[in-house]
Each structure stands twice: as structure tokens, then as C-alpha cells.
Amino acid sequence: MAQLKCIYTNVHNMGNKQEEVEAIVQQENYDIVAITETWWDDSHNWSAAMDGYKLFRRDRQGRRGGGVALYVRECFDCLELDNGDERVECLWVRIRGKTNKADIVVGVCYRPPNQDEEADEIFYKQLGEVSRSLALVLMGDFNLLDVCWKYNRAERKQSRRFLECVEGNFLRQLVSEPTREGTPLDLLFANREGLVGDMMFGGCLGHRDHEMIEFLILGEVRRGVSRSATLDFWRADLGLFRGLVDRVPWEAVLKGKGVQEGWTFFRKEILKAQEQAVPTCRMTSQQGRRLAWLKRELWLELRKKRRIYGLWKKGQATQEDQKDVMRLCRGKIKRAKGTQPPELEDTDGEQNEAPIIKGEMVSTAQQEGKHLYIINTVFITNPKHNLILATMKKINSIPAMGT
């Protein structure tokens, strides 16, 4: 039987964990990646995409935090089911099955601890609609600390109502081990026996204490060839691009602006110049290509991180050992991708901010085998540091000359 390799985790701010997520996804070759608490808004549109995957996301509206995302491999035939209400943070994506095979709905949900009963009822209505006639896999952080899943009991009224909805839709909760602070806070449901298998826990992202949950969805899905647009640097007019960027009086227009306001203006001008100077072409791909910055050293570092985490869970390594390995691994990933120089990392492994003074775009080329990778990077600098804040188009692959 065909299998979809999946992973779910609560990242508690995707912004400083994007590179680690991309590296893990590439290393393990996941088909579906589900994430809660992305903390995304419109300013993250440039950085949210992952090469080789379709991204479905629902950001929290009007306030910071929350949000959910679902990455599905491009080669799968899938579409988002419109839930029509922004008061609940959940996504439903329908993946088409092969001929004569059932479709599968994959859902991801984040339920804030203070969510009211009205929002709960909206979620229950959506859940009832999607689970009525389709195979369903639902995962997320539901913040139901008082629920005992072994005996299907709960203390609070809202939690008991949640259990009623789960039972009414014939869902089975599959997580039996703690996922955060001794509690199964992150949950995984399926409405059909044998739909989910081989579940295991895969460590934590960054310094988070939420376990990553790996599992397989057992079902045959329809595959197709994805055709997506990419920047064509062979036909780019770099002279025009530099001229357009040089015309902007950066120091004058960015003076007095905050980090977010300055970045928004800078990004807008760079994209405007890119649109005029760099044409696009169609690219055919069935799978995401390997990230150029993900070298063997990082693969080994990620494996070491997972091994130390497993030893810590068994009591054979200290928590300090585990944190040291996580901090080292995260720093190496960021430096390999070029998103953080060593001197800008603080003692907790978080990125320090630097004031925006100047911006420029640099394109570099790197050949590996029969492919030439064009890396287009945006630099934000100040007098003391060179801080790479974003990559406008991380990696573009084109056939190398003479191959």
C-alpha cells in the first residue's frame, strides 16, 4: 500500500526556525508537513515557501501569534477546503486518491487556551462536515490539559464537549505519550482504522519543548507533474536591476523608520526592480531539489542532534548536553544558509536585531554536477554588521553550460 510520510509540530514562531524545518524536511523527505503556531502575517510571504511543496496557511488575524500551515509535496493533486470563518485557526486540505481510491482530508488546527465556546462550535461544525464521508487525519495543538485520553474523561465543560465531538465523528486519538511537559498536548486523530501507522516522536525544533510527531498515512493518492514559474537569470538584465536599485536614496528613505516599516519598503522596491529586470520561465519538477546549502556536515549534525535527544529521553544524556547540541546545530544551519553570521547570535541561540541602514542584492552561482544553482540574496547592513535578513529567491536551478 502507498504511504505518505508526515510530520507535525508546534514551532511557537516559525520565523527563527524556518531553516531548521527546511533542513529536516529535506533530510527525511516528508510528503506532508503540518505546523501550528507559525506566528506568520503578510510580512512573511517572501520567506514562507518551501521548494518542492505547495503551501496552505491560515494566519491569525488582528493579533500576534497563532496560525497554522500545511506543506504538501507538489506532485500530489490537492486543494484547500474553504472553511469560511477566520475565528478558528484550522486548515483542511483534500488530497485526491488514485482512480477508484478514496480521497483523504488532512487537517491541522491550533486551539488557543482561551478560545471561547462559540469558536469551538464553529470548529465542531467544520469537523463534522469534512469527516462525514471522507477519510480524515487531523492533528494539532488543542490545549486540552484536563483531558484523560485513556479513559475519555475531562474536568472542564469545554473539554467534555470536545470529547463528545470526537466520539460523534468516530475519531480515534492516537497520541499516548506526553508531547509537552508530561502532557499529550499535541494530538493526532483518524476516523478510520488503519489509516495512520508507524507513529513516533522525533525530538524538538530549536529550544521548543513540543515533540515532533512523525507518522505514515496509508493510502494511495494521485500524483501529477507540477509546473511552476521560476526566475530566469540567464535572461536577466542585471545592469537594469542595479540601476533601478541605485536610484533609490536608501539612507534617506529608511531614516527614522522602524525595522518592520523599513523592511516592508525595502522589499517592495527590490521586488519592483526584480519584476522589471528578471524574466520568469516555466519549470517542471516532481520533487523538491536538494538544498544547495544542506551539505553532508549538516546532515550529520542533524542526525547527531536526534541521537542525543533520544539518549536524553532515556536518561543517558543530560538536558544541558541536549541543549548544547541543539544550539550548535541551529547555528550551523543558519550560517550555512547565510541567514545569520556568528557574531549576531546571542547566548541563547536567538538572532539579535540590527538597525536597517542599507540594502543591496547579490547573486551568486554554484555548480553541482549537471546543475548550476543561482542564489539571489538580499543583504541588510549596518556600520557594525552584515546581516542577511532574507533571500528573495533562495535557489534557482538551471542546466550548467556544456552539459
Q: What is the residue-wise DSSP string for 312-332?
A: HHTTSS-HHHHHHHHHHHHHH
Using one digit for the tens of pLDDT, what is the confidence trace for 22-74?
888 988 899 999 999 999 988 877 778 888 899 999 999 888 899 999 999 99
Output the pLDDT for position 137.
96
Distance of CA 244 to the CA centre of its chain: 33
| Residue 257 exposed, middle or buried by CB count within 10 Å (0-12, 13-18, 19+) | middle
Output the pLDDT for position 364.
58
Output the pLDDT for position 44.
78
Q: Check if the beta carbon of residue 356 is closer than 8 Å to that of residue 266.
A: yes
Output the pLDDT for position 342.
46
Q: Domains in the chain, ordered, with CATH?
A: 3-218 (3.60.10.10), 227-291+354-399 (no CATH)
The model's pTM is 0.67
Q: How far apart are CA 184 and CA 210, in angstroms?
A: 10
| Residue 354 exposed, middle or buried by CB count within 10 Å (0-12, 13-18, 19+) | middle
Q: Check if the beta carbon of residue 390 is closer than 8 Å to that of residue 259.
A: no
Output the pLDDT for position 349.
42
Output the pLDDT for position 362.
52
Over the chain (403 residues), the average pLDDT of each successive run of 10 is 87 85 88 94 81 92 91 92 84 85 92 94 93 90 92 94 95 88 86 91 73 88 61 81 90 86 87 86 55 73 80 80 80 70 44 44 56 54 42 48 49
Give φ, ψ of 139 to 5 degrees. -140, 160
Using one digit for the tens of pLDDT, what is the confidence trace for 109-163?
999 999 999 999 999 999 999 988 789 999 999 999 999 998 999 999 999 999 9
- Show the cell assigned to 253: 528613505
Q: How many CA atoms lie within 13 Å of 32's alpha carbon, on the beta-carbon side?
A: 30
Indicate if the alpha-carbon torsion angle 99, 101, 102, 104 is positive or negative.
Answer: negative
CB atoms within 10 A of CB 276: 12
Output the pLDDT for position 389.
42
